[in-house]
């Protein structure tokens, strides 16, 4: 099951880079965005060099090539998550826009004052703010599944909340701070039994786990290319066809229409109904190349490798006096390790590590309520991916000891 890690690392040109002071880049910030393999870079470059044209509208050679590549990527993505049809794959800019599409289109057509939406305390702001906005506009009610001290959801509280017949349950499949992999299939099944629609934030799960829409039975599922070896600026909203068909368009303009008259219009069929204007064509092609890359390596192998590195990282970090690691044990989490160092602000930790070329994230990671829950303003976060190694974990640990020395 092990990866040929040295061969994989050769695919990522940036990992050979050195900083201005001659330190090799140790990239431990893949939860924020992953690095890109040369196969993705070359696929986008090849499109611009050989087939650049706008899609769907043209009948000339370049337009037909570009359209085939753009729609071919959609087919690859549908297969990657086992969607029933590529018509259920809506291109967006990112996970954030995907969640907002559901909030603006489905929710505004279906939710009214007093309707209950259930979220969790571990959500990224992308899965909080759209619902806050709807609460201010419509008077919907929001309730939250609590997070335990060891970083997992209190499902007993969730089951009690379901007795209040929520209209929507929206939750993250994997926490970007704690790394917690939530029992998505169980959460979805319970929500459906209570009559609720389910929206899942899969930004952290799709890059790292095998995700199967038929097995999960989610109504909506959102994720981004840039966290899974693809380019920035493009993401996906998966939605069940019947729901997408029933929803009003999100944005108006070119390509999302069947017919336009001065006083009326008819919306296009799926998926184009939700894709107004010239899309991110090169980025979609890069997305398809990223899916090809991950598929060839194998998601099960990637998940196993990340688990091994994460388990090692947790063991090493817990050796350091003054370090507190947040989240569950390695068997319940993905490749994310958020921690604090006693007496040192997380930003100082990150800046000092950067002197040795070690890239970690510091801050609230767009999850302020979760940090408030744990009584801290911020954490440092090291995150891993298919190109991460135990040797890089050792360098991280050595770097943290240096931070400790500097701060006495």
C-beta of residue 204 within 8 angstroms of C-beta of residue 175: yes
Q: Which two tokens stand for residue 3?
A: 């990866």
Q: Catalytic annotation on 229?
A: no
Model confidence pLDDT, tens digit, residues 181-198: 999 999 999 999 999 999
Torsion on CA atoms 169, 226, 153, 125, rounded to nearest 10: -70
> Which tens digit of pLDDT belongs to each residue from 88-126?
999 999 999 999 999 999 999 999 999 999 999 999 999
CA dist 284 and 179 (Å) reads 27
3-state secondary structure 19-31: CCCCCECEECECC
Kindly name the residue from 53, 161, 276, 366 that is annotated as catalytic. 366
Q: Which of 384, 385, 386, 373 is nearest to 337 (CA)?
A: 384
Identify the structural domains of the chain with CATH numbers, from first to last: 5-29+299-406 (3.90.1150.10), 53-296 (3.40.640.10)
191 burial class (0-12, 13-18, 19+ CB within 10 angstroms)? buried
Angular region, 299: left φ>0, alpha ψ -120 to 50, beta rest: alpha
Q: Strand, coil or helix: what is 174?
A: strand
Distances (CA, A) of 123 to 33, 127, 182, 308, 368: 18, 6, 12, 26, 9
Q: What is the pLDDT along the chain (408 residues), one digit of tens a residue?
A: 478 999 999 999 999 999 988 999 999 999 999 999 999 999 999 999 999 999 998 899 999 999 999 999 999 999 999 999 999 999 999 999 999 999 999 999 999 999 999 999 999 999 999 999 999 999 999 999 999 999 999 999 999 999 999 999 999 999 999 999 999 999 999 999 999 999 999 999 999 999 999 999 999 999 999 999 999 999 999 999 999 999 999 999 999 999 999 999 999 999 999 999 999 999 999 999 999 999 999 999 999 999 999 999 999 999 999 999 999 999 999 999 999 999 999 999 999 999 999 999 999 999 999 999 999 999 999 999 999 999 999 999 999 999 999 997
Measure the CA–CA gap between 234 and 232, rounded to whole angstroms.
6
Angstrom distance (rounded) from CA 70 to CA 287: 9
- Given a contact cutoff of 8 angstroms between Cβ atoms, the answer to whether 61 and 244 are in contact is no
């Amino acid at each position: 099951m092990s990866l040929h890690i040295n061969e994989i690392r050769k695919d990522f040109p940036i990992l050979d880079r050195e900083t201005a002071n001659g330190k090799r880049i140790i990239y431990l910030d893949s939860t924020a965005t992953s690095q890109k393999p040369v196969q993705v870079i070359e696929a986008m470059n090849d499109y611009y060099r050989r087939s650049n044209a706008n899609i769907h509208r043209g009948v000339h050679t370049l337009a037909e090539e570009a359209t085939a590549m753009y729609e071919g990527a959609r087919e690859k993505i549908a297969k990657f998550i086992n969607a029933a049809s590529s018509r259920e794959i809506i291109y967006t800019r990112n996970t954030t826009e995907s969640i907002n599409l559901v909030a603006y289109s489905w929710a505004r057509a279906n939710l009214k004052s007093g309707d209950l939406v259930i979220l969790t305390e571990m959500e990224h702001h992308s899965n909080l703010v759209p619902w806050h906005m709807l609460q201010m506009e419509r008077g919907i009610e929001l309730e939250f599944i609590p997070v335990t001290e060891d970083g997992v959801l209190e499902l007993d509280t969730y089951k009690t909340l379901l007795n209040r017949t929520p209209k929507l349950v929206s939750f993250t499949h994997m926490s970007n701070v704690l790394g917690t992999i939530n029992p998505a299939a169980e959460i979805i099944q319970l929500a459906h039994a209570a009559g609720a629609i389910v929206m899942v934030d899969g930004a952290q799960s799709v890059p790292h786990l095998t995700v199967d829409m038929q097995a999960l039975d989610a109504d909506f599922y959102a994720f981004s290319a840039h966290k899974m070896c693809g380019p920035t600026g493009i993401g996906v909203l998966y939605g069940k066809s019947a729901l997408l068909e029933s929803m009003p368009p999100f944005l108006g303009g070119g390509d999302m229409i069947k017919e336009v008259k001065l006083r009326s219009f008819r919306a296009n069929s799926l998926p184009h109904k939700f894709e107004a204007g010239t899309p991110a064509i090169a980025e979609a092609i890069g997305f398809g190349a990223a899916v090809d890359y991950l598929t060839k390596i194998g998601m099960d192998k990637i998940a196993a490798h990340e688990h091994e590195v994460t388990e090692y990282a947790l063991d090493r970090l817990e050796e350091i006096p003054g370090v507190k690691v947040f989240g569950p044990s390695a068997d319940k989490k993905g490749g994310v390790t958020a921690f604090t160092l006693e007496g040192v602000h997380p930003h100082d930790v990150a800046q000092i590590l950067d002197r040795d070329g070690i890239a970690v994230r510091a801050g609230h990671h767009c999850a302020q309520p979760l940090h408030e829950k744990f009584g801290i303003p911020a954490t440092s976060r090291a995150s891993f991916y298919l190109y991460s190694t135990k040797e890089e974990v050792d360098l991280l640990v050595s770097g943290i000891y240096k931070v400790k020395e500097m701060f006495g």
